[in-house]
C-alpha cells in the first residue's frame, strides 16, 4: 500500500467503495428538469399542500429568480439550474417499517448501516432518498411523551398549526438565493418538536441520500425545542460518485426556547461533486443552549472570483493554466496557476475607489482584504464590498515580483526603399523611445513623426535613439523629427502602435516585459506628455485619449509605481478663423511621488458607487484564494454556507460550534461559524480544528457579532490548525463585529506542525510512523471528536487514519 | 551469559548537523546487567541515547551498533523498539488528545501483531490484546508505580509534572518489556520522593531478562539503582570504566580527576 503516490486516494477510494455505489434509478414520479412556476405548483399539488404553502413557494421562487448568485455561497457559478431534477418521488408513501421500504432502497440504507444503527443507538431514524423521506420512525416511549419526529411534509399535513407558527421564521426565503430556492422546492427533511421539559437522551438521526443523477436535494428541517427540553439530532449525508454534479441545498431552522438545549451534529461525507450549500441557523432564547458539531470530511475544492497578474490581462481573457499573482500567508507575492474561469452572468456591479485612486468594479459580495485597527492592534480580514465603509483600509498591490521577459521581434518583410536595422529584442532604450512615440509620435503616409522640438529636453535623446536603434536618417522640420521610412512605419504598426492619437493603446506585449523596460516605456511617455505642475513634486500626463491613460495606469500599477486619479478637463472654444464652436476634452493622469516598494499597501476607501449591470467573471486559483484585480487584493468568492449560525436572542442564551475540517491534496476545506449576540449576557464558544496535508488548505472563517446595546456578552474562539507537511497551508479569517464595549471576546489561534520529536517519541515505542502520525492527528481533533456520538467518533478516526496512510516517512 | 553482549556499541562516531559529537565510543551491555554512564554536560550522553534509539537527526558517521548480534543501523526507531530496545526520555514530549491508555494499547499491539505480509501478500489479521486483559495489565503496572488509575485517561505527558512524566516513562517500560533499556537522565527534574518511586520501579523490573543503561550526570540516582558497572564519558568517548566505587569517587572528586587522568595518560 503506497498511498503517498496518490495521497488522497485513500479516502476517495474508500468513499467510492463505501458510499459511491448507486442503485438503478427508481421513482414513482420524476418532474422534468428545470425550474419554473409549473414545477413548483406540481410539487405542491403532488403533496396535497394547503394553499398558503403553495403561495409561500411561489413567492420564494420569485425571490430566487430575482436574487443574484451569492458569491459567498461557494463555487456556484457552474450550477446549471435548468439541468437539475427538482423533484423525484421515490415511493408512494413513507414507511414505518423497513420491511415496507422498497427492497432496493432498503438495500442502500442497509449498506450504509442505518437500520443497524437504529437498533443499537438511536431513538428514531428518518431516511430520505432523493426528494422524499422513505422511512421515519421514533421509539414509542418518546411519541407517548409528545415528541414529534416526522418528515417535514408529514408534519405539515398532521400538525399544520404548530408547523405554520415556526416555519420560515428563522430563515426567511429572502435571506439568500439558496434559501429562496429551498423555500420554493423544498421536500422532505425532518420535523422535530420536543415538548416542555422532555429530554430525549438518545439521538434522533436523519440520513440523506442522493441517488438520482443531476438531482437537487432540498430538504427542509425544522426543530423546535420547547422550554427546558433537550434533543440531540444527527444528520448524515452521502451521494453516489457521479461524474456530473448534484446539488444539496438544505435549510435548517432551529428554535430553542427558554432553558432548552439542542445539539445538532453533522457528519457530511458527500462525494466531491456535490455542491453543498446549506443555510443553517438557530435562534436560542433565554438561558437556552444551542450546540452545532460539524465533522466535514467531504471535499470542497478551490474558490473563485476575478482578475490579474503581471501580464495585466482582462479577466475575460484569462485562461486556465495562466499564472497569476496571489498573496500568501506571509504577505508575500507568489505565482499560482488559474484552474478555471467562468462567466458569472450579468450582475449589478459597484465601483470601489480608494484614496490613492485605485478603482475596481465588483459585485456587492466580492471580498477584499482589509486592515482593521483597534487601538494598538491591527488585524487582517476579508470583507465583502457591501460591508466596506470609508473607514476601512483595503489592501492594494505594491511591487510584485518581476517575471517579465524581453520581447523578441520577428523580422518583417522589408518593403522600404531604404534598409533600416530593426531591433531583435526589446531594450530599455527602445521602450523609452516607444513611450515617447505613444505620447508625441504619429504616422502620415510613409513617414513617422516625433513632435519633439529641439527645445524639448528629450529632443537629443530621441535623435540618438533613432540613430542608435534603427540607423535611420531623419530630418527636423518645423520642430518635428521626421523619418521617411516605410519599414519603420510598418514595424510600429506591426507591434500594435497606432498612428493616430485617439486610437493609441498600450500593446499587450508591453505588460509582459521586465519591470525596468516597462518603467522605461512609462518614462518615455512622461517625457512626451508629462509635466510638473507648479508647486507640485509629482508628475501628471495629459492626453485626449482616456483609454490610453487607463492602460498606462494599469501598467504603472504593475510596475509598483503609484498612479493616482484620471481627471477630465473640457473647454469649448472657437478657432480664430472658424465659425463652429468646438469642445476640447483632455484627461490627466496624476502620479504619486514615490514608488511602492513593499509588496502590499493599504489605502482608505474613498467611495463606493453603484453602477449598472455588467458581465462578470470568476477565476479559480490553485491553492491560494486571492489574486490582484486592478491592483486590489481580492479573495476568491467562495464562502460555503455550511457554516452554522447561532442567534442568541435573549439573556442567558449560549451557543457552541465545534467543527473539524480535513483538507488533502487539491482540497480547500473551510470550517467556521457565526455567532450573533443579539441580547445582553449571552455567551458563545467556537472551536475549530483544521488539518491540512499534501498541499491542502484548511481553515477557519467565522464571524462573531455583538449588537449595539448587548452588554456583558462573552465569546471565545479557538482555531487550531495542524499542518502535516511543508506544502500545506492553514488560513484563519476571524471577523469580529463588536458594536458594544462591555463585552469579553477571546480569540486564540494556533498553528502547529507534526513535530519530529513527537513522531520519534511514538515510534520509539514501536508504533510505525504512519500510525504515529495518525495518532497525533486523532489526538489533535479529540476535543471535537469526543463530542460526537461514539459510532461517529469511531468512523471519524477511521477516515482520518485512511487519509494518513503512507503519508509520512 | 552469552558470548556476545546483547547490546554492542563499536567505535561509534555520530554527528549532529555536521558537528561530530561521538568520537569512537564503545560499550557492551548484557541482559541482567546494570550499567551507569556518567559524564558532564556536553560529553555526548544524550546523543548516545538518541542514536541507539534511531533518532533521524543523529547521523552515524562510523562504527556500528549490534543488538542481539545484528547491526540495527538500518532499522527505524519503531523496529528497534519492537526488537526489544527501550529509551526512557529525558524530556518526554506531550501528545495532546492521546490518552496514556490508548497509546499504550497501540504500542503493545504494534509488537503483538506480526508486521510481515503472509506469503500470498495479504496482511495477516491483526491480533491485538483484548481490552479486558489490557486494562488488568495496565492497572497492575500502575499500582507498582503508585499511579492513580485516573492517570490512564489523561493525555500523554500533556500537562504532566516532571515526576509524572518520568513515572509514565517507567510505566511504558514495564508494559513493553524491553530487553535493554536506556534511561536518559531519568533523575533530572525529580524530587527525592519521585526519584525513589521511579528507582523502585526500575529495580522491580531489573532481573536476568533486562539490561539497563542508566545515563546520568549525578551520582544521586545510583543510591537507588545499584550499577554493576560505571563508565565515565568525556568528549564523545568512554574514558574510564570501573565498578560501583567509581561513581562514588566521581561524586567526591568531580569529573576533573578523570580529565586530569586523561591528561597524564598522554
Cell numbers found for residue A721: 490548525
Q: What percent of chain A has pLDDT over 70?
A: 64
Domain boundary among A558, A591, A624: A591
Give which of A337, A338, A333, A336 is closest to A401, Cα–Cα: A333
B43-94: per-residue pLDDT in tens? Answer: 899 999 999 999 999 999 999 999 999 999 999 999 999 999 999 999 999 9
What pLDDT was estimated at residue A16?
47
Buried (b) or exposed (e) across B156-169, using 16+ Cβ within 10 A? bbeebeebbbbbbb
* Residues A414 and A394: beta-carbon distance below 8 Å: no
Task: Please say if the pLDDT value at position A807 is more than 70.
Answer: no
Which residues of chain A lie closer than 8 angstroms to B107, CB-CB?
762, 765-767
Q: Looking at per-residue confidence, does A110 or B2 come out higher?
A: A110
Q: A503 and A458 in one domain?
A: yes
Cβ separation A766–B78 shorter than 8 A: yes
Which residues, 6 or more positions from A578, have their beta carbon under 8 angstroms from its beta carbon? none
Judge whether B97 is closer than 8 Å to chain A, CB to CB.
yes
The angle subtended at Cα A93 by Cα A91 and Cα A98, nearest 5°, is 85
Kindly give the interhelix angle for A37-46 and A51-66, rounded to the nearest 10 degrees: 150
Q: How far apart are CA B167 and CA B189, in angstroms?
A: 12
* Residues B231 and B244: beta-carbon distance below 8 Å: no
Which of A788-792, B109-113, B184-188, B250-254 comes out lowest in average pLDDT? A788-792
In a domain? residue A181? no
Cβ separation B96–A768 shorter than 8 A: no
Q: A438 and A587 in one domain?
A: yes
Cβ separation B103–A776 shorter than 8 A: no
Q: A691 and A573 in one domain?
A: no
Q: A798 and A776 in one domain?
A: yes
In a domain? residue A269? no
**Mean pLDDT throughout A540-545?**
84
**DSSP string spanning A616-647?**
EEEEEESS--EEEETTEEEE-S---TT--EEE
The angle subtended at Cα B187 by Cα B182 and Cα B192, nearest 5°, is 145
A35-83: per-residue pLDDT in tens? Answer: 889 889 988 988 899 999 999 999 999 999 888 765 443 444 556 677 7
Q: Which residue stretches of A391-458 are H helix?
A: 428-440
In a domain? residue A206? no
Which of A152-156, A504-508, B18-22, B115-119 comes out lowest in average pLDDT? B115-119
A631-689: per-residue pLDDT in tens? Answer: 565 543 333 335 688 999 999 999 998 887 777 665 566 667 889 999 999 999 988 88
Cβ separation B115–A768 shorter than 8 A: yes
Q: A693 and A650 in one domain?
A: yes
Q: A655 and A775 in one domain?
A: no
* Beta-bridge partners for A605: A354
In a domain? residue A549? yes
Phi, psi dihedral angles at A181 (to 5 degrees)? -60, -50
In a domain? residue A421? no
* Residues A510 and A441: beta-carbon distance below 8 Å: no
Cβ separation B95–A756 shorter than 8 A: no
SS3 A99: helix
Q: How far apart are CA A635 and CA A321, in angstroms?
A: 19
Q: How far apart are CA A426 and CA A431, in angstroms?
A: 7
Judge whether B77 is closer than 8 Å to chain A, CB to CB.
yes
Nearest to B176 among A757, A765, A771 (CB): A765
The angle subtended at Cα A302 by Cα A297 and Cα A303, nearest 5°, is 120
Which residues of chain B lie closer than 8 angstroms to A775, CB-CB?
95, 98, 103, 106
Q: A570 and A459 in one domain?
A: yes
What pLDDT was estimated at residue A615?
60
- Ordered domains of chain B (ranges, CATH): 7-115+127-257 (3.40.50.300)
In a domain? residue A25? no
A424 vs A464, A469, A470, B169, CA distance in Å?
18, 10, 11, 73
- Residue A82: CB atoms within 10 Å: 9
Q: Which of the residues A761, A771, A784, A804 would you substitute to probe the B interface, choosing the one with the greatest number of B C-beta atoms within 10 Å?
A: A761
Mean pLDDT over the full length of chain A: 74
- The 8-class DSSP code of residue A551 comes to H
**DSSP string spanning chain B?**
--SS-SEEEEEEEEEETTEEEEEEEEEEE-TT-EEEEE--TTSSHHHHHHHHHT-TTEEEEEEEEEETTEE-TTS-HHHHHHHTEEEE-SSPPP-TT-BHHHHHHHHHHHHHS--S--TTSPPPPP-PPPHHHHHHHHHHHHHHTT--GGGGGSBTTTT--HHHHHHHHHHHHHHH--SEEEEESTTTT--HHHHHHHHHHHHHH-BTTBEEEEEESSSGGGGTS--SEEEEEETTEEEEEE-THHHHHHHHH-THHHHHHHHHH-
Q: A580 and A649 in one domain?
A: no
**DSSP string spanning B43-59?**
SSHHHHHHHHHT-TTEE
Domain boundary among A715, A736, A753: A753
In a domain? residue A729? yes
Which residues of chain B lie closer than 8 angstroms to A762, CB-CB?
95, 103, 107
Judge whether A767 is closer than 8 Å to chain B, CB to CB.
yes
Judge whether B153 is closer than 8 Å to chain A, CB to CB.
no
Task: Please say if the pLDDT value at position A808 is more than 50.
Answer: no
Q: How far is A668 from chain B (nearest CA, A)?
A: 25
Cell numbers found for residue A134: 422513505
Domains in chain A, number: 4
A438-477: per-residue pLDDT in tens? Answer: 988 888 888 899 988 888 888 889 999 988 888 888 888 8
Judge whether A796 is closer than 8 Å to chain B, CB to CB.
no
Q: How far is B32 from chain A (nearest CA, A)?
A: 21
* Residues A663 and A698: beta-carbon distance below 8 Å: yes
What pLDDT was estimated at residue A92?
57
Cβ separation B95–A781 shorter than 8 A: no
Give which of A647, A640, A757 is closest to A699, Cα–Cα: A640
* Residues A619 and A627: beta-carbon distance below 8 Å: yes
CATH number of the domain enclosing A434: 3.10.28.10
A559-602: per-residue pLDDT in tens? Answer: 888 888 788 887 776 666 666 677 778 888 888 877 777 777 77
> Whole-prediction pTM value?
0.56
Q: A652 and A698 in one domain?
A: yes
Which residues, 6 or more positions from A478, have their beta carbon under 8 angstroms from its beta carbon? none
CATH number of the domain enclosing A390: 2.170.16.10
Nearest chain A residue (CA) to B84: A766
Per-residue confidence band for A741, with pLDDT thresholds at 50, 70 and 90: confident
Q: How far is A175 from chain B (nearest CA, A)?
A: 39
* Residues A697 and A729: beta-carbon distance below 8 Å: yes
Q: A473 and A580 in one domain?
A: yes
Boundaries of domain holding A696: 643-753
Q: How far apart are CA B60 and CA A407, in angstroms?
A: 53
Q: A625 and A550 in one domain?
A: no
In a domain? residue A258? no
Mean pLDDT over the full length of chain B: 87
Judge whether A748 is closer than 8 Å to chain B, CB to CB.
no
Domain boundary among A710, A728, A753: A753
Residue with cell 529495580: B203
Tally C-beta pairs within 8 A across A and B. 78
Q: A434 and A580 in one domain?
A: yes
Nearest to B76 among A763, A778, A781 (CB): A763
Cell numbers found for residue A54: 403553495
Amino acid at each position: 500500500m503506497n498511498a503517498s503516490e496518490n495521497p488522497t486516494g485513500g479516502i476517495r477510494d474508500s468513499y467510492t467503495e463505501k458510499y459511491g455505489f448507486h442503485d438503478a434509478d427508481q421513482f414513482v414520479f420524476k418532474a422534468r428538469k428545470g425550474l419554473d412556476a409549473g414545477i413548483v405548483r406540481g410539487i405542491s399539488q403532488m403533496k396535497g399542500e394547503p394553499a398558503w404553502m403553495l403561495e409561500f413557494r411561489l413567492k420564494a421562487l420569485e425571490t430566487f429568480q430575482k436574487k443574484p448568485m451569492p458569491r459567498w455561497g461557494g463555487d456556484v457559478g457552474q450550477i446549471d439550474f435548468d439541468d437539475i431534477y427538482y423533484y423525484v418521488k421515490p415511493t408512494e408513501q413513507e414507511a414505518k417499517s423497513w420491511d415496507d421500504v422498497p427492497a432496493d432502497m432498503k438495500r442502500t440504507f442497509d449498506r450504509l448501516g442505518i437500520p443497524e444503527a437504529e437498533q443499537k443507538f438511536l431513538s428514531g431514524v428518518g431516511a430520505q432518498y432523493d426528494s422524499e423521506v422513505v422511512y421515519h420512525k421514533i421509539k414509542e416511549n418518546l411519541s407517548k411523551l409528545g415528541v414529534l419526529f416526522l418528515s417535514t411534509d408529514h408534519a405539515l399535513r398532521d400538525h399544520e398549526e404548530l408547523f405554520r407558527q415556526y416555519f420560515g421564521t428563522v430563515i426567511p426565503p429572502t435571506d439568500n438565493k439558496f434559501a429562496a430556492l429551498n423555500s420554493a422546492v423544498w421536500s422532505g427533511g425532518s420535523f422535530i418538536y420536543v415538548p416542555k421539559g422532555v429530554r430525549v437522551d438518545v439521538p434522533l438521526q436523519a440520513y440523506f441520500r442522493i441517488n438520482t443523477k443531476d438531482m437537487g436535494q432540498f430538504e427542509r428541517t425544522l426543530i423546535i425545542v420547547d422550554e427546558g427540553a433537550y434533543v440531540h439530532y444527527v444528520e448524515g449525508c452521502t451521494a453516489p460518485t457521479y461524474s456530473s454534479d448534484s446539488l444539496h441545498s438544505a435549510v435548517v431552522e432551529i428554535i430553542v426556547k427558554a432553558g432548552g438545549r439542542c445539539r445538532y451534529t453533522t457528519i457530511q461525507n458527500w462525494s466531491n461533486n456535490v455542491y453543498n450549500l446549506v443555510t443553517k441557523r438557530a435562534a436560542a432564547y433565554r438561558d437556552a443552549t444551542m450546540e452545532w458539531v460539524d465533522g466535514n470530511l467531504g471535499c470542497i475544492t478551490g474558490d473563485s472570483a476575478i482578475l490579474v497578474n503581471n501580464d495585466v490581462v482582462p479577466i475575460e481573457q484569462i485562461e486556465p493554466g495562466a499564472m497569476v499573482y496571489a498573496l500568501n500567508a506571509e504577505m508575500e507575492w507568489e505565482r499560482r496557476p488559474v484552474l478555471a474561469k467562468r462567466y458569472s452572468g450579468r450582475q449589478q456591479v459597484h465601483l470601489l475607489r480608494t484614496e490613492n485612486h485605485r478603482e475596481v468594479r465588483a459585485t456587492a459580495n466580492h471580498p477584499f482584504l482589509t486592515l482593521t485597527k483597534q487601538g494598538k492592534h491591527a488585524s487582517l480580514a476579508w470583507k465583502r464590498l457591501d460591508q466596506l465603509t470609508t473607514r476601512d483600509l483595503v489592501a492594494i498591490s505594491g511591487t510584485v515580483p518581476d517575471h517579465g521577459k524581453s520581447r523578441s521581434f520577428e523580422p518583417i518583410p522589408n518593403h522600404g526603399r531604404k534598409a533600416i536595422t530593426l531591433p531583435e529584442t526589446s531594450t530599455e532604450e527602445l521602450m523609452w523611445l516607444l513611450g515617447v512615440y505613444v505620447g508625441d509620435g504619429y504616422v502620415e503616409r510613409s513617414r513617422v513623426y516625433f513632435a519633439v522640438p529641439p527645445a524639448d529636453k528629450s529632443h537629443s535623446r530621441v535623435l540618438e535613439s533613432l540613430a542608435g536603434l534603427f540607423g535611420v536618417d531623419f530630418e527636423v522640420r518645423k520642430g518635428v523629427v521626421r523619418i521617411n521610412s516605410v519599414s519603420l512605419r510598418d514595424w510600429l504598426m506591426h507591434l500594435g502602435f497606432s498612428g493616430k492619437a485617439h486610437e493609441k493603446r498600450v500593446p499587450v506585449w508591453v505588460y509582459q516585459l521586465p519591470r525596468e523596460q516597462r518603467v522605461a516605456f512609462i518614462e518615455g511617455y512622461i517625457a512626451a506628455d508629462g509635466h510638473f505642475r507648479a508647486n507640485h513634486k509629482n508628475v501628471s500626463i495629459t492626453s485626449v485619449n482616456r483609454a490610453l491613460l487607463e492602460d498606462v495606469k494599469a501598467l504603472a500599477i504593475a510596475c509598483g509605481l503609484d498612479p493616482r486619479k484620471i481627471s477630465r478637463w473640457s473647454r469649448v472654444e472657437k478657432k480664430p478663423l472658424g465659425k463652429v464652436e468646438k469642445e476640447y476634452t483632455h484627461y490627466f493622469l496624476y502620479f504619486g511621488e514615490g514608488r511602492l516598494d513593499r509588496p502590499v499597501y493599504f489605502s482608505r476607501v474613498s467611495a463606493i458607487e453603484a453602477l449598472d449591470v455588467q458581465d462578470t467573471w470568476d477565476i479559480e486559483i490553485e491553492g491560494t484564494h486571492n489574486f490582484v484585480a486592478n491592483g486590489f487584493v481580492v479573495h476568491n468568492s467562495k464562502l460555503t454556507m455550511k457554516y452554522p449560525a447561532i442567534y442568541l436572542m435573549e439573556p442567558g442564551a449560549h451557543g457552541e460550534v465545534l467543527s473539524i475540517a480535513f483538507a488533502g491534496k487539491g482540497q480547500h476545506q473551510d470550517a467556521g461559524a457565526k455567532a450573533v449576540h443579539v441580547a445582553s449576557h449571552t455567551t458563545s464558544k467556537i472551536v475549530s480544528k483544521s488539518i491540512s496535508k499534501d498541499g491542502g488548505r484548511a481553515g477557519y472563517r467565522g464571524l462573531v457579532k455583538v449588537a449595539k446595546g448587548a452588554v456583558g456578552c462573552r465569546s471565545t474562539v479557538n482555531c487550531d490548525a495542524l499542518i502535516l507537511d511543508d506544502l500545506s497551508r492553514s488560513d484563519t479569517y476571524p471577523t469580529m463585529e463588536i458594536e458594544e464595549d462591555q463585552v469579553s471576546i477571546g480569540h486564540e489561534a494556533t498553528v502547529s506542525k507534526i513535530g519530529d520529536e513527537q513522531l520519534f517519541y511514538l515510534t520509539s515505542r514501536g508504533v510505525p510512523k504512519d500510525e504515529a502520525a495518525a495518532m497525533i492527528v486523532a489526538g489533535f481533533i479529540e476535543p471535537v471528536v469526543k463530542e460526537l456520538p461514539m459510532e461517529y467518533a469511531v468512523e471519524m478516526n477511521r477516515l482520518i487514519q485512511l487519509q494518513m496512510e503512507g503519508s509520512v516517512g | 551469559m552469552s558470548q556476545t553482549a546483547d547490546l554492542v556499541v563499536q567505535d561509534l562516531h555520530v554527528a549532529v548537523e555536521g558537528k561530530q559529537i561521538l568520537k569512537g565510543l564503545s560499550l557492551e551491555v548484557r541482559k541482567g546487567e546494570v550499567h551507569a554512564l556518567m559524564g558532564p554536560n556536553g560529553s555526548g550522553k544524550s546523543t548516545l541515547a538518541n542514536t541507539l534509539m534511531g533518532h533521524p537527526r543523529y547521523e552515524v558517521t562510523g562504527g556500528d551498533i549490534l543488538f542481539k548480534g545484528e547491526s540495527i543501523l538500518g532499522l527505524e526507531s519503531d523496529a528497534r523498539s519492537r526488537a526489544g530496545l527501550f529509551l526512557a526520555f529525558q524530556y518526554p514530549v506531550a501528545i495532546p488528545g492521546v490518552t496514556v491508555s490508548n497509546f499504550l494499547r497501540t504500542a503493545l499491539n504494534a509488537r503483538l501483531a506480526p508486521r510481515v505480509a503472509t506469503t500470498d501478500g495479504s496482511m495477516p489479521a491483526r491480533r491485538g490484546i483484548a481490552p479486558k486483559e489490557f486494562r488488568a495489565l495496565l492497572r497492575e503496572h500502575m499500582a507498582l508505580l503508585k499511579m492513580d488509575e485516573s492517570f490512564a485517561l489523561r493525555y500523554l505527558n500533556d500537562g504532566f509534572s516532571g515526576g509524572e512524566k518520568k513515572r509514565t516513562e517507567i510505566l511504558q517500560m514495564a508494559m513493553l518489556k524491553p530487553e535493554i533499556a536506556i534511561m536518559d537522565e531519568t533523575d533530572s527534574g525529580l524530587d527525592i520522593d519521585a526519584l525513589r518511586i521511579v528507582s523502585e520501579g526500575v529495580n522491580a523490573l531489573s532481573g536476568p531478562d533486562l539490561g539497563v543503561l542508566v545515563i546520568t550526570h549525578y551520582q544521586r540516582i545510583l543510591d537507588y539503582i545499584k550499577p554493576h558497572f560505571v563508565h565515565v564519558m568525556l568528549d564523545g568517548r568512554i574514558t574510564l570504566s570501573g565498578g560501583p566505587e567509581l561513581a562514588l569517587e566521581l561524586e567526591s572528586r568531580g569529573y576533573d580527576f578523570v580529565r586530569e587522568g586523561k591528561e597524564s595518560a598522554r
